[in-house]
């Protein structure tokens, strides 16, 4: 039986990944900081480890779990930050991540599937962060490269685009549109010409599993990066129309009710390499239609 250790298991994608690993027959360990407030997966089948913030506790967890693959999804996401957000962003996205791979090194665990973001590539650049969150992801990538070169860590970074799917409680775009459809309260939005690349969470989970198998098959030497993209970005206005059609609802949007945000991504990054053995299977119309209706 293959063993996984997952960070970020209480998040939207992480909880789906834990369930996907269980279905695929993996033994699963998760690292959490706070007690679980709700059941996200079958807790009788998951070994839960509580992190006290120290590197030493992560080393102990890693030595106990002895994972074949570590899946690192834990992060603090903020589309824009305030002064008081700087330290939490660094602690979550840089400090904890560095502690994790140091613990892997100490426990002789050498396979990592990491999580990046397409927002590291503003206006299609090799590196230009859309926001401080994306900059922290790049910062950890630089730290990761040291462990790859000096310690023999093998890693795949999956750079994710926007995600959606069942059970998504994040206050992000699809959730806001669903709320507006349900309440019929007008939602002020930008002029709506920006394109959005949405990938269904089930396809994202498959990408993590494919990346893990690539590592387990010893096909990775060093650090590889792949883009997890739908390949079919749509304009925001088109997305709203699709949602209205497949759900049979009206979404009251005030186009131009707010300005584009600073460093708005008008065209999604298209320069990433596809993950070998993976392609998206769930189209936007099917994915939106399969979720709970906003009735």
Give the separation between CA 93 and CA 70, rounded to whole angstroms.
16
Confidence category of residue 293, pLDDT binned at 50, 70, 90: very low
pLDDT at 291 over 80: no
pLDDT at 92: 97
200/163 Cα distance (integer angstroms): 6
User: What pLDDT does 40 receive?
Assistant: 84
Q: Decide: 122 and 128 in contact? Cβ < 8 Å.
A: yes
pLDDT of residue 205: 98
Mean pLDDT of 225-249: 97
pLDDT value at residue 295:
30
Domain 3-164+198-228 is of which CATH architecture?
3-Layer(aba) Sandwich (3.40)
- Structural domain boundaries of the chain? 3-164+198-228, 173-197+232-269+281-290
What is 173-197+232-269+281-290's CATH number? 3.90.25.10
CB of 210 within 8 A of CB of 131? Answer: no
Q: For the chain, what percent of residues have pLDDT higher than 70?
A: 98
pLDDT band at 138 (very low <50, low <70, confident <90, very high): very high
Average pLDDT value for residue range 213-228 = 97
Q: How far is CA 185 from CA 156, 178, 235, 252, 295, in A?
A: 43, 11, 22, 7, 14
Using 50, 70 and 90 to split pLDDT, how confident is the model at 38? confident
State the pLDDT at residue 34. Answer: 84
Residue 120 has pLDDT above 80, yes or no: yes
pLDDT score at 43: 85
Does the pLDDT value for residue 39 go beyond 80?
A: no
Q: Taking CA 69 as the corner, what is the angle to CA 157 and CA 164, rounded to the nearest 5 degrees?
A: 50
Contacts of 81 (CB under 8 A, 6+ apart): 89, 131, 132, 133
What average pLDDT score do residues 235-253 get? 97
Q: Is the pLDDT of residue 292 over 50?
A: no
pLDDT at 94 over 50: yes
pLDDT at 122 over 90: yes
pLDDT at 154 over 80: yes
């Amino acid at each position: 039986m293959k063993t996984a250790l997952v960070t970020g298991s209480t998040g939207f994608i992480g909880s789906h990944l834990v369930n996907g690993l269980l279905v695929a027959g993996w033994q699963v360990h998760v690292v959490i900081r706070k007690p679980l407030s709700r059941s996200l997966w079958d807790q009788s089948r998951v070994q839960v480890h509580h992190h006290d913030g120290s590197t030493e506790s992560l080393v102990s967890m890693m030595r106990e779990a002895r994972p074949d693959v570590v899946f690192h999804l834990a992060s603090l996401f903020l589309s824009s930050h305030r002064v008081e957000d700087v330290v939490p962003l660094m602690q979550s996205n840089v400090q904890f991540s560095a502690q994790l791979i140091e613990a892997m090194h100490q426990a002789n665990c050498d396979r990592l599937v990491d999580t990046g973001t397409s927002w590291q590539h503003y206006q299609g650049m090799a590196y230009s962060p859309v926001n401080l969150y994306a900059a922290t992801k790049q910062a950890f990538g630089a730290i990761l490269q040291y462990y790859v070169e000096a310690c023999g860590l093998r890693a795949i970074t999956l750079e994710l685009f926007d995600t959606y799917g069942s059970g998504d409680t994040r206050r992000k775009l699809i959730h806001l549109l669903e709320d507006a459809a349900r309440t019929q309260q007008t939602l002020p939005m930008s002029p709506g010409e920006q394109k959005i690349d949405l990938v269904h969470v089930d396809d994202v989970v498959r990408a993590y599993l494919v990346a893990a198998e690539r590592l387990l098959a010893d096909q990775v030497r060093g650090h590889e990066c792949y883009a997890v993209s739908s390949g079919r970005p749509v304009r925001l206005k088109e997305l709203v129309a699709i949602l209205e059609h497949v759900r049979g609802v009206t979404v009251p949007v005030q186009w131009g009710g707010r300005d584009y945000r600073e460093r708005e991504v008008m065209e999604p990054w298209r320069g990433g390499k596809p993950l070998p053995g993976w392609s998206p299977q769930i189209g936007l119309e099917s994915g939106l239609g399969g979720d709970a209706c906003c009735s």
